[in-house]
Amino acid sequence: MFHDNTAVVTGAAGGIGTAVVRALVEQGVSVAAVDVASDGLAKLEGDQVTVHAVDVADSAAVEALVGDVEARVGPIGALVNAAGVLRTGRAHLLTDDDWATTFAVNSTGVFHLCRAVATRMIPRRGGAIVTVASNAAGIARMDMAAYAASKAAATSFTRCLGLELAEYGIRCNVVAPGSTHTPMLTGLWDDGDAVRVSVEGVPSAFRTGIPLGKVAQPSDVADAVLYVLSDRASHITMQTLTVDGGAALGA
């Protein structure tokens, strides 16, 4: 299913990132699991997984990471950009730090990883890159201006990168989850009932619910990521696969 047996996954300590790492391991892939939260990486380390405590917003650290993985683990055939942060609030009340931090991880971090990996994939004329964005990149959400804008930027960047790398046989796609049962979701609601609110929607915030009547599990998103990385998607590039149970109504 996978020609290349080394993958880099950022945001590996988070819900979706962890699910992607485990799914790749099941396919026999060696994974470099990357996250700024070093404590959360310990659960992943094993025979097929090396762990790397790296801030994707640090360009020099990312370049060193990719060089180290290529030297110690093997040529990188797949990259999954799953690192992400969420700062909520009305757009006019966001601080400079809210905006800068959100873009540093969600957008610039994608750029750093893609640049470092792509320069090594190009001479080998092959590879696959997936950016985990969000359905919020394509639909307005109240209190999520910075997050939505950063994910839209990452989505557009990944598509442009896919166009530029197509001549080298490198595919670049986006997987856009909606509400997914992760700490990022459960931390959004004070009453702790994030799943119910996500499924039912919030009319006062112009937010529809989820037509399928459930939030995604991290494994649902991981399955989509593995598909677009795999040979089964060998003729798919510059596309966005939305995994949101219909929440964006197909937008």
Low-confidence ranges of the chain (pLDDT < 70): 1-4, 188-192
pLDDT at 191: 59
Question: Of 76, 105, 129, 147, which one is the catalytic site residue?
Answer: 147
Which pTM was predicted?
0.95
Question: 3-class SS at 94?
Answer: coil
Could you give the residue ranges of the DSSP H alpha helices within the chain?
15-26, 38-41, 59-72, 96-103, 109-124, 145-165, 183-186, 194-200, 218-229
Q: Which residues contact 185 (CB under 8 A, 6 or more apart)?
A: 179, 194, 195, 198, 215
pLDDT at 35: 98
pLDDT tens digits along 84-119: 999 999 999 999 999 999 999 999 999 999 999 999
Q: For residues 81 and 10, is the Cβ–Cβ distance under 8 A?
A: yes
Active site residue 168: no
CATH, domain 6-178+216-243, list 3.30.230.70, 3.30.540.10, 3.40.50.720, 3.50.50.60: 3.40.50.720
pLDDT at 30: 97
43, 151, 218 from 109: Cα distances, Å: 23, 11, 21
pLDDT at 194: 78
